[in-house]
Structure formats: C-alpha cells, structure tokens
Structure 1
Amino acid sequence: MSTFTTADGCKLDYHLAGSSSNERTLVLLHGWSQSRAMFDRVIPMLARHYRVVSYDQRGHGESGHPAHGARIARLARDLDELLAHLHIEQADLVGHSMGASVLWSYLDLFGSAKVSSLTIIDQPSACAILPWLEKAEAAQVGAIVDFPGAEAFCKSFLGPDAASARRQFLSSMLTSQIPGADLEWLYQENLKLDGGFGTRLLLDHIMQDWRDVLPRIDVPTLVIAGEVSHVNPASQQWSAEQIPGARLHTFTAEEGGAHFPFFERPEPFATALHSFLDTQPARRARAGAAS
C-alpha cells in the first residue's frame, strides 16, 4: 500500500502488483461508493501478464476524504496526476461503472496520448433522462432516471434511512447467488464513502452526458455488459457501436454477469480482458491526443 498527494492536497491510496518489467501497465478504476479492494480477487490473475495499478478514488476506501472535489472532472485530474507520479507513459485503462465516466472525462480533458486501450465495464453514456433526450433515445443509451427521480435517489443517501438505501442499491447490482459474507463485505466498503461527499459526486456523475466523447475515442476499446445487470445490456451494445472499432463482451448470469463480474466471477473476467489486450500491441508514448 502506497500513497501520494494530489495538487489540491488529497491523499490517494494506491497499490501496485505484477512486475515492473511487464510490458504493459493496467490501471483499474472502481465505481461510486466502492474501492480498489473490489479488484483484489482478479488482480493476481492479471498480474501474471501486466503491471497492475489499483487505487481508491478520492472520498473512497482508504484515500483522503476531503470536503472538496466531488466532481467527475476532479477525479479525472486525479488519474492524470497519478499517472505522472508513477511515471506511466502508456497505460491500458479499465473503468468500472462511475470509473468509466472518469475515463471518458480523462479523454475529454487530457486526450489519449497516454492511453493504449480502454475497457468500459457496465456504464451507460448517460444515466439521467436529460431535457434533450427523447424517450426512445434515453432508453437506447441506458438513461433510466428523470430529474425528480435523481433528486429522490440522492436524498435517499442523506436521510434517516440512508444505510438501508445504500444496502438496497448495492444488492440491486449483484446476482442473487452472491454469498451473504461477500455482500456484507461489499457493504462495509461502501460505507467508507461519506454520505454528503458521495451524494454530491453521485449527482455530478449521473447528470453527465458522454455520448459526444464516444465517437472520438481513438484507442482500442472493450465494452463489457452483464446479462442480468441493472444496466440494460442493450445500452452497452449501443455504446460499443458508437466507438470506432470497439468490441462488446457480455457476461452471462453464470459468469457473474451483473454489475461486478470481476468480483463475483474473476476467472472469466480475467480471461476476457486478457483476450482483448493480447490482441492489442503495446504502444509507446505518443504525441497527439484524441480529445
């Protein structure tokens, strides 16, 4: 376990696995209210082939819990600073749920010069039914909550029943077969995110519209969906169709194909990710950017 401090004074906890002599560096970004520990089951499988970096995003897990920076754009800046701190010139970036939004923001702000490939795990390009989205269009991209619903959803994490709301939300993202001990462990990690900071970040997250970023992604991309996820797998197919040359991989229910395939069934997840990366030549740091 190591730490570094961002330019605005937030300590980020990160972990390195695999040999530094490995040709490729894989950076894993967790989702909202989760932690880098969610990847601990799959990291040993990935570390056989890659140098693997996982870290707690600000406000989450063992990282600092500041009152400021509850924005996707700030989390993207944190990623940029972490890459610089570790002297990573090229990386394969993997983002789960909100972590995918952080990657889209990173590309939008900093371009793709340091990015060898992108893996998006089960995240719609728009979560909220924004005023410029027609009903059919919203369904197509995976937007499922209107403005009153977004307000009520966020308030549920601040009210007297916040603990119950957080448990119910977490349970909705998992297969029904998950062991009770695993659910409890995930829930305890979830509670490390402060409700106030977490709710501000959640609202910023779900109000984003990343659809204009997708066609401008100029690196090999894998989009991962889950057959029984609360995120409509059709929305992940739509995202893959917008990204030039992107691949789509959908996990079945038996393969842990809800929202956390890398946690519920790490073996098929590691196989799918390795299969994708193995077909992509490692790249050297390059000038220029897709932004």
Structure 2
Amino acid sequence: MSTFTTADGCKLDYHLAGSSSSERTLVLLHGWSQSRAMFDRVIPMLARHYRVVSYDQRGHGESDHPTHGARIARLARDLDELLTHLHIEQADFAGHSMGASVLWSYLDLFGSAKVSSLIIIDQPSACTILPWLDPAEAAKVGAIVDFPGAEAFCKSFLGPDAASVRHDFLVSMLTRQISGEDLEWLYQENLKLDGGFGSRLLLDHIMQDWRDVLPRIDVPTLVIAGEVSHVNPASQKWSAERIPGAQLRTFTAEEGGRTLPVLRAARAFRGRLALLPRCPASAAYPGTRRLLMCL
C-alpha cells in the first residue's frame, strides 16, 4: 500500500503494478461507493503491458474519509495531484460510472495534455432531469431522475433503512450470476463510504451535466454500455455519437452486459480495452496503435 496527501490534507491510498519502465501507463478510476479493489482481478493481466495505477478516491476504500471535498471537481483535482505526485506526463484512463464523471471533470478543468485515450464505462452525461432538459432530450442522454427523486435517493442513504438501500442499489448494478461471496465482498467495500459524505458526493455527481464536454474530447475514446445495465445503453450511444471519433461497444446480457464489468474475468475486460479506436500513430495520438496491439 502507498499513500500520498493532497493539497487539502486528504491521504489517498494508491497501488502501482507493472514495470516502471513500461511505455504506457493506465490509470483506473472506480465508481461511487466502490474502491480500487474492484480492479484487482484484471490488474495482473494489464500489468503485463502497462504500468497500472489504481487508487481509492477520497472517502472510499482505504483512503481518508474527510468531511470536506464531497464534489466531483475536488476528485478531479485529486487525480491531477496524483499524476503530479507520480510524475505521470501521459497516460490512458478508464473510468467506471462516477469515475467517468471524474474524468470528464478532469478534462474540463485541466485539458487533455496528459491524456492519451479514454474508456468511459456505463455513465450518462446527465443523470438528473435538469431544468434545461425537456423530457425527450433527458431520455436520450440517460437522465431518469427528477429533482424530488434525486433528493429522496440521496436521503435514503442517510435514513434508518440505509443499509438495505445500499445493498439493493448494489444488487441493481450486478449480474444475477454473481456469487454470494462476491456480492458480500462488494457490499463490505461499499460500506466503507460514509453515508453522509457519500450522500453529498452522490448529489453533486448526479446534478452534473457533462454534455458540453463531450464534443471537446480530442483523444481516442471508447464508450462501453451494457444491454441490461441500469444505465440505458441508448444513452451511451448518444454520448459516443457526440465524442469525435469515439467507438461504442454494447455488451449483451449473454456477454455479461451489466455494470461493474471489472468483476468479469480478466480476458473479458481485456476485450473491452482492446476496442479502443485503432487510430494510426500520429502527432496527435503517438503510440496509440502500439498500445492497442499489446492489449
């Protein structure tokens, strides 16, 4: 276990795998209420080709559990500070669920100078039906929660039934074929996120609108959807169509097309990564083809 402390005093737990001499670095970002441990099963395979970085975002897993910083923008700043701490000048990034939102926020705040490519996994560009979204547009982008629903959802993680709410929410994201042992392990990881901090972060997360960021993404991007995910796969198609040159891969129910794909076998996750756009190596995307060939 390694740690570093952010500028606002939050100690983050991170893990490095693979050789420091690897040509490419891959940074993995977990979702809300998850942890870097979600990637443990695929990291050994990935580390054959990459220097792999995984970390617990603030409030999650083994990182500090502060009372401040429950905002996507702060998590994006944490990522920037981690990259600086590790002297990472260029990397590929994969973000699952809220991790994708952190990546969009990072691009919005810091640009793409350090970003070689992106993998966006199962995250709508807007989750809540905001005042400027008409119902038809909201459905297309994946916004399915209205303001009262968002309030009730966040409050539910603070109430007397919070434990069962969190369990039910977790189950809604998983394939029905998951073992009881894996489900219990995931649930215990979920419970490491404090309800108060988690509720505030969740509200900030689901109130964001990243649609204006998508057309400005200027790196090879793969958008991953699940046919039976609780995130409407049509919303992932909508996002992919607005990211210049992005590719979309929708996994069927038979392929395990539900969220948390990192719990699948390493070979299956490798298949997801291998679908990144096969752009020719160029000044804009140096080494991209070499990256994809080794996946």
SS in 2 for 1:197: helix
Aligned to 1:43: 43
- Write the deviation string for residues 229-285 of structure 1: whole angstroms up to 9, x where unpaired: 00001100000000000001112223221011121343212122034277564648x
Q: Determine if contact 1:16/1:52 at 8 Å carries over to the other structure.
A: yes
Q: Distance in 2 between matches of 1:183 and 1:279?
A: 38
| Cα separation, 1, equivalents of 2:157 and 2:280 | 41
The amino acid that maps onto 1:197 is F
Contact 2:247 2:277 in 1 (8 A): no
Structure 1 Cα separation of the partners of residues 280 and 147 of structure 2: 40
The secondary structure found in structure 2 opposite 1:239 is helix
Counterpart amino acid of residue 232 in structure 1? N
- Taking the TM superposition and a 5 Å limit, the aligned residue runs for 1:174-193 are 174-193=174-193
Name 1:78's counterpart in structure 2: 78
Q: Secondary structure at the match of 2:75?
A: helix
CA distance in 2, matches of 1:254, 1:54: 28
Q: Give a deviation string over 1:142-193, Cα, whole Å, max 9, x none.
A: 0010000001100110000000000000000011111111111000000000
Letter in structure 1 aligned against 2:82 = L
Matches within 5 A, 1:101-250: 101-250=101-250
Alignment check: 8 A CA contact 1:156 1:162 kept: yes
> Alpha carbons of 1:193 and 1:51: their partners in 2 closer, same or farther (altered >3 Å)?
same
More off after superposition, 247-256 vs 105-114? 247-256
Runs of 4+ in structure 1 deviating by more than 3 angstroms, as ranges, are 277-284
Q: State the partner residue of 2:65.
A: 65
For 1:20, the equivalent position in structure 2 comes to 20
Task: Find the aligned partners of 1:283 and 1:166 in 2 and give their Cα distance.
Answer: 43
Q: Could you say which residue in structure 1 is the equivalent of 2:55?
A: 55
**Which residue of structure 1 aligns with residue 266 of structure 2?**
266
* Distance in 2 of aligned mates of 1:264 and 1:167: 20
Task: Provide, for residues 170-228 of structure 1, a one-character-per-residue CA deviation record: whole Å limited to 9, x for no partner.
Answer: 00001111111111100000000000000000000000000000000001001000111
- TM-score normalised per structure 1: 0.95
SS in 1 for 2:94: strand
Number of residues of Structure 1 aligned to a counterpart in Structure 2: 284
* Partner secondary structure for residue 23 of structure 1: coil
Backbone CA RMSD of aligned residues: 1.3
Q: TM-score, normalised by structure 2?
A: 0.94
The whole-number CA distance in structure 2 between the counterparts of 1:138 and 1:277 is 28
Unaligned runs of 5+ in 2: 288-295
Note closer, same or farther for the CA distance 1:60–1:280 as it changes in structure 2 (3 Å cut): farther
User: Partner letter of residue 51 of structure 1?
Assistant: R
